[in-house]
Every structure is written in C-alpha cells, then in structure tokens.
Structure 1
C-alpha cells in the first residue's frame, strides 16, 4: 500500500489500529463463546470489528481530518483492492447461479456414482476436494456434502469424526487452490501475481498432501456395514460450467472474462435444463453479489486502514523486525508462514488473515527476493492450515453442527481434530518446500518490474 517513492520512518505504534482490530475480533468471539453462543466468532461481522480500529487511526495519526480521510479513501480505492472486490462479486455470482441450477448436486451425485462403496470415506474426501475446487468455498462444500457424509457414516457404521475429518480436509483443499476462492483472490491481488501462477506454485504443495491423505482414507475408512446410497441422478451438462471456469483460468484467460463467461454459461444451461428462468437467473446474480458484500466491504476498509498504517510507518516497522530475524529467502518465508498462522488463529478467518498480512508479505518479498508467487502460495496455504484445524473456525463448527442437526451422535469440534490429516500434511509439505525448494516456479521473477522475467 506504500507509494514506493517516499520512504517512511518506521513506527511500531502505527500498528496499534491493526492490533485493536484483531483484539476486538478475538475478544468478541471468546466472550460470546464463553456465553455458549453458537458460531461465536462469526456473530459480529468483521467490517464492524474493524470500525474501532479505523476510529483509532483517525485519532492517533497526525494531520487534518481531511488529509486522513483522503489517505483512507486512497487506500480503499487502491487498484488491487478494487480488482479484488470486483473478482469477489463475480465469483459470488458464478457460485450462486451454478448451485441454483443444480450444478453442486450433479457433481456430488456423479462422483458418488463413480466411487465403490468400500472406499466411500476416501470418496467423501475426493468429492469435497472437487466441490471446493470448483466453487471456491470450504463452508459451502461442507454444507453441501455434509449431510451425505453423515448419512454414509451412519449407514456404514463408520467413525463419524473420521468421515467429518475427510470432509473438512477436502473442503480446505479447494479453499486453498480454487481460482475463485476468496483466499486465492486476496493472496494473488496483495502479491500482484496471476492466479494461474499461484495455482502452479501451490499445487506442488497441496497435491502430494491430498494424494497421501486419499491413500490413508482408502485403508482406514472402509465401512463395516452395508451402505445403500439413495437416488444419485445427475446431469453432466450441469458440471460443464465448473470445468470451464477451472480449465480456462488455468489456461491463462483473463479472470474477469472467465467468471463473466462462467456466469453466462451457467445461466444458459440452467435455463435450458429448467433449473432457472430468466428472472431467477437475474435474481441469483444479484444474490451472489450480495453474498460477497461482507468480504467486499472488509477488503475496502482494510485497504484504507492498511494505507494509513503504512503511511505512518507501521508496515515498515514490522518489516524491519522481521528483517532482524530473517537473513535469507528461507527465513523470510518462515516469517510469512508464522505471521499468517498467528493472524488466522486470532481472527478465525483465513481471508481476513491474508488481507491483513498481504502488504507485509509483499514488503518481505521485495526485501528478501522472495518470489511473489511463493509468498502468495504460502499466505494461502498456511492460512488454510490454521483455519482448517482451529476448533472455533467456521468450517469445523459447521461440520460438527451437522452431526447434531441430522440426528446423529453429536461430534464435538475437538473430536474431529485428530482426523484432520490433510491439513497436517499440507503444513508439512509447505514447510518442506521452504527448505527443499521443490515448489519454486521454474522462471525467475523480475523484482524491478514486479513480473515474471521474459524469456
């Protein structure tokens, strides 16, 4: 968020607004949780929690009100923030239209029909991987596949915690990798890299972890009772929009064109198959926009606050402290990983963690010549690791809640944690990539032009 032309003086006190934001977020969740409120960390929206931090920034930073307001608005209107917000709403529209037309149900039923029942736990993991990769939402994946997973566990006399662990692990796989996930959008825009390039760097870490997890579930997730699945009707044509978005984004097509085309394609197919009408198509586009309002607003407010903090030396102070620890690329990447883990543990929101840590990671990237594709990959991977294991995160809370709602023996979030093998393996491979360097992009990064070197 820094201009890059005027070097600001390091000032640790300038970080107080960000610290206040995290403390308000954390304290609100802890207090509500102590009172027995369900989904305690998500009862007060993040944009509301950041308001005290913005007020503090206006009070403590020097300058006139007009000057401070101009700085705040300049940060809100930063090019990367606006691009990020526009991608959010298009991704929301695509996900909503595709789901309403029946795409998610078709993907789930298609996958279930292809998987032998003796490997159903591994199948739940695989289905969750594909759904989350296609839709970009771990919470949405858990909500869609969760009832099936609980039913399968009951019918097959399987450990419910084991099956839920497979479900959550698969959901975090796509949350980390999907080109339309809000974490991917935030990570790529804050580091100024292409989605396809971040995907290529990330897949080298996530895929080995997913493969090993899948193999483990093949052996330990076999049902001991008979599993009879209900009607598994599906329409392959409804799966096409997801495949189109995934393939075209990875092929390098402009992300706005990818998502706009995906929305139109989903609408045309939905109308042709009877899942949508012209009216409901239009309504679902707006519903998708509305569903992204919270993260849209939070990104803008955080962008404004981040710019003010940066202009007053907060980011520079934090980077200097990290610089005193980091001596090379490896230790700099470890710093990014640790910063992301701590921030996500405090906020219980991986997108928020990336938005907060993104500007710092970008400065670390410049100082220590960390490839921005790597910093984006590390931000996303480690935020998803922490988000996927904290028992007060939305993903595990919703998954555990489903067991109670669907009449099964209730499983607590803590009981699920020992079965979150994918998240553990993802952390292991991400750390290994720092010291062994097997996930580095093949081409070098031009730090002066802030783009890959032209061969």
Structure 2
C-alpha cells in the first residue's frame, strides 16, 4: 500500500458499516458455531476496515497510526489487567483468598449468598468508585465462596457484576461518572441524583431476583458436608488468619483515599508475595512462580484444587491480546471517520425526544461493540448528541444519564470489550454464562428506554442551565477532542 499522501474522500454509511457487518458475521460463525475465541473475527474486521480506509484515500502509514491510537487508548486497561493477574496469583499463594472464602463460608448462608455478595460489592464499589478493583478483590473471593456452596459460576458472577457496577455508577469517585457529567457539562451530584431513577429500581429488581434464585440453594437443598469438607481442606492447606484480611482492606482503603489503582494494586501484590513466603511458609521460587504462571495446589479435593488453580501474569495474556486486537479495530473505525458516518446516519432518524434518548443509548451500545472500550462509548456519543439535546431544550443530565445507562453498564455484555475480557480474566466466567444474571446491567438500559418512551423523569433545560452550557461550550469542545487522554481503569 502506498505511503504517500492521497486524496481523501468522505466515507459513506454503507462502506462505513461494512467492516462491522463482516466482523459480526464472522463472529457469529466463529464464536457461536465453531466455539472459538473472538480474536480472529476481530482481526478480519480490522482488515476489512483497513481496506475501506485505504480505498477512501488513507495510506498505510496513516492506517497504522489509527491502530496505534486505538491501542494507546487501551494501554491503561492493559496495565491494570496484568496487575490483576499478579494480584490473584499472589493472593492465592499468600492464603488471602483462602481466608476470605473460609470466613465467607462461615458467615453467609447459601440461601442469602447471592444477595449478600451483591450488597457487599455495591458498598465497596460505592466507597472506592471502581467496579474493576471491586471485582478483582471481593469478586474473586465471592466466586470461590459461591462455587464452594454449589452455586453456578454465572449466577455468582452476575451478582458480583451487578453490585460492582451499581456502586461504580453511583459513586462520586467513579471515573465514568465524572467523565459523563464532565463531558456534558452536568453538575456531578445532579447527574448522580438523576441516575437514581433508573438505578434504584434496578437494584430492587436485582434484590428480588437474587432472593428467589438463592432459595434454590437453601441449606436443605445443598450438601453441607461438602462445604464443611471444603473448609477443612482449606484450613489444612493454608494458614487461615483474620490478619490476612488486612491485605484486601489495605487496597480498598488506598483506592478510597484516591490513591491511583496501579500503586494500590502493586502494594497488594507485594503484601501477597510476602504472605506466601513468611506466613504460608512458601519459597521465593514458588512465590515468583505464582506471580508469573499462577498458583496451583494439589490437595486431593477437586473443588479446592480448582478454586486455587489460577492467577498469574500468564493467565491474563489471552485477555491482553483480545484487548489489543479489539482496539486496533476500534481505532480504524474512530479515526478514519467510519464511526462518525454511522452516527451521522443515525441522527437523520432522530425526530422526537424519545427517539433521541433511545438513539443515544443505542449509539453507546454500538460504540461498546465497535470500539471495545466503555470510555469511548461515553466520549463519542457525548460529542455526537450534545447539540441535539441542546436544540430540543433538554437538560444535559438526560444525556449524561443516557451515556451511563447505555455505555457504562452494557460494556460487560460485549465479549471483546475491555470490560468483558477483564471479567473473563478475573472471575473466569464468560458473557454467555454471567450475562443473564447481570441483572442491574440488563435492567437499567431497559428502564431508561421505557422512561424515554413515556417521558418519565425527562427534564427540560432551565434558564440557568442554558447560560451555563453556553459558557462551557468551548471547554467541552476542547475536552472532546482530547479523547486520547481518557481516565485509567481502576
């Protein structure tokens, strides 16, 4: 392909959507029929996107730069993903995960476990503003407890995800919450209050669903001897001590104190590494192996062996590679103008307030699928729809809520999105398993669409907001252009 400057043409809608159609088609055959991973379909989609960009005047050097820009957007997430692998390996080897599971089995009954883990994850995530950190700490232990009780992995993961994203969405410390309010010029706490209309009913529905599901695992319906045996094997294989709970507590406190996720996780990794050597009596070689290859143990108890076989840097390479491939695809779509062409066509059918809000939610979901990154699913639609909300006299908090309802929460349902691959790497459960049980993530976008159709909680712009929006317009335009400086996943 030529690297010289070529005359560029505007990409039309049908050519812009072609790479997406091809990618989805190949994805359905590869993932659904052949039961293979999504890497190859994403590479095929990237190749088609590159050919379309080349056809419309971009040279190969420019196309490469688009891919590099996409990858650069994902680098903060990649770093977190690798650190989470190290965290899980060191915490398993250090007996930290075993301690959390041991006491969890003592304190939480199977019938109320799903409700309990959702509430615990909600509180922790609300306090620290991070769904990823919550899932990587409390979520990992919750998976172990739930599996020990005989609860299906998809249900446990769904409860963990529901709680983690509830807290993340409603926390003033959350990066996505601040991003959505900041890009739309909405007061942070006005934005959070407006999200209560969709989020609180979803939380109540989730509480009811997990209560009903939990009744299937009441003490009379499960093997209590199996749980007792699991606890016994863990206490024989690890030194169980409540002092080890200080390790995850330290990480949670550091993140709550606004210490960035990377140094907080590094401290947790070091503490887990030292715990394996000085508390569990392991060797330096064994502790290093747990960091690189993951921890494993042979107790003769299949459940315990499976629970503590994982983690490590190597375990995250599948997730890292998928993230990089997905972001090359998203980078070409974004920076070649294909995504804009698709969005522009979408805007032509937006006539009413309800269709505008529904289109915003749909655009967020589509961006999650095409660009594979929840931050882009907030940034791009906010840029595309901001003027339309203003022209219709709608308060900016309608847009900020739609961005979160459609962008933040639906990211977990895209297997190749950074959130989907993070959950697979951290909790060990795929979208097809946990998707039906991620109740809050499912219900919130549906409620948002229902509200758009009925007009419930849709707020018109006040005179004060009109003045404030005019004052911030120039600043918002500048912020939207700097989409390479997105927040770090935490």
TM-score over 0.5 (shorter chain)? yes
Q: Tell me the secondary structure at the aligned position of residue 221 of structure 1.
A: helix
Counterpart among 59, 62, 66 of residue 75 in structure 1: 66
Counterpart among 245, 249, 255 of residue 236 in structure 1: 245
Shift of 1:130: 7.5
In 2, Cα distance between the equivalents of 1:110 and 1:202?
38
Q: Quote the residue 1:264 is aligned against.
A: 266
Q: Quote the residue 1:321 is aligned against.
A: 345
| Distance 1:28-1:427 versus aligned 2 partners, 3 A rule | closer
In 2, Cα distance between the equivalents of 1:218 and 1:425?
16
Q: Which runs of 5+ in 2 are unaligned?
A: 1-7, 235-239, 294-311, 391-395, 480-490
Q: Deviations over 1:268-310 (max 9, x none)?
A: 32233226958569758965884424313432442234211x1
Q: Quote the residue 1:94 is aligned against.
A: 83
Q: Quote the residue 1:294 is aligned against.
A: 322
In 2, Cα distance between the equivalents of 1:423 and 1:169?
10
Q: Tell me the secondary structure at the aligned position of residue 96 of structure 1.
A: helix
| Distance 1:86-1:220 versus aligned 2 partners, 3 A rule | closer
Q: Quote the residue 2:19 is aligned against.
A: 20
Q: Does residue 1:33 correspond to 2:54, yes or no?
A: no
Q: Tell me the secondary structure at the aligned position of residue 260 of structure 2.
A: helix
Counterpart among 378, 393, 396 of residue 405 in structure 2: 378
In 2, Cα distance between the equivalents of 1:185 and 1:29?
33
| Distance 1:210-1:240 versus aligned 2 partners, 3 A rule | same
Q: Deviations over 1:329-358 (max 9, x none)?
A: 6532310222344677xx5x9936875785
> What is the aligned-residue RMSD (CA, Å)?
5.3
| Distance 1:33-1:325 versus aligned 2 partners, 3 A rule | closer
Q: Tell me the secondary structure at the aligned position of residue 292 of structure 1.
A: helix
Shift of 1:365: 2.9
Shift of 1:104: 4.9
Q: Deviations over 1:167-196 (max 9, x none)?
A: 4243255367659xxxx98998899859x9
Q: Does residue 1:84 correspond to 2:93, yes or no?
A: no
- Contact 2:180 2:400 survives alignment (8 Å): no
Normalization by structure 1: what TM-score?
0.64
Q: Which of these two proteins has the greater Rg computed from alpha carbons?
A: 2
| Distance 1:74-1:447 versus aligned 2 partners, 3 A rule | farther
Normalization by structure 2: what TM-score?
0.60
| Distance 1:423-1:28 versus aligned 2 partners, 3 A rule | closer
Q: Quote the residue 2:444 is aligned against.
A: 426
| Distance 1:396-1:166 versus aligned 2 partners, 3 A rule | same
How does 1:200-349 map onto structure 2 within 5 Å? 200=192, 204=196, 205-206=198-199, 208-218=201-211, 221-222=214-215, 223=218, 224-225=220-221, 228=224, 229=227, 230-231=230-231, 233=240, 235-244=244-253, 246-248=255-257, 253=258, 258-274=260-276, 279=288, 283=292, 287=314, 290=317, 291-308=319-336, 310=337, 314-327=338-351, 330-341=354-365
In 2, Cα distance between the equivalents of 1:98 and 1:439?
44
How does 1:339-418 map onto structure 2 within 5 Å? 339-341=363-365, 351=372, 355=376, 359-369=380-390, 370=396, 373-374=400-401, 376-381=403-408, 383-384=410-411, 387=414
How does 1:44-59 map onto structure 2 within 5 Å? 44-45=39-40, 47-59=42-54
Question: How many residues in Structure 1 have an aligned counterpart in Structure 2?
Answer: 395
In 2, Cα distance between the equivalents of 1:46 and 1:188?
33
In 2, Cα distance between the equivalents of 1:10 and 1:246?
45
In 2, Cα distance between the equivalents of 1:340 and 1:242?
31
- Contact 1:128 1:142 survives alignment (8 Å): yes
Shift of 1:239: 1.2
Q: Deviations over 1:112-143 (max 9, x none)?
A: 44324442342354467689965459799988
- Contact 1:47 1:301 survives alignment (8 Å): yes
- Contact 2:146 2:156 survives alignment (8 Å): no
- Contact 1:190 1:362 survives alignment (8 Å): no
Shift of 1:243: 1.1
In 2, Cα distance between the equivalents of 1:322 and 1:328?
13
| Distance 1:431-1:238 versus aligned 2 partners, 3 A rule | farther
How does 1:84-123 map onto structure 2 within 5 Å? 84-102=73-91, 104-123=97-116
- Contact 2:142 2:160 survives alignment (8 Å): no
In 1, Cα distance between the equivalents of 2:67 and 2:321?
15
- Contact 2:331 2:371 survives alignment (8 Å): no
In 2, Cα distance between the equivalents of 1:264 and 1:190?
28
Shift of 1:219: 5.1
In 1, Cα distance between the equivalents of 2:381 and 2:350?
13
| Distance 1:23-1:101 versus aligned 2 partners, 3 A rule | same
Shift of 1:88: 0.8
In 1, Cα distance between the equivalents of 2:17 and 2:180?
17
Q: Tell me the secondary structure at the aligned position of residue 430 of structure 1.
A: helix
Q: Tell me the secondary structure at the aligned position of residue 271 of structure 1.
A: helix
- Contact 2:124 2:167 survives alignment (8 Å): no
In 2, Cα distance between the equivalents of 1:304 and 1:77?
9
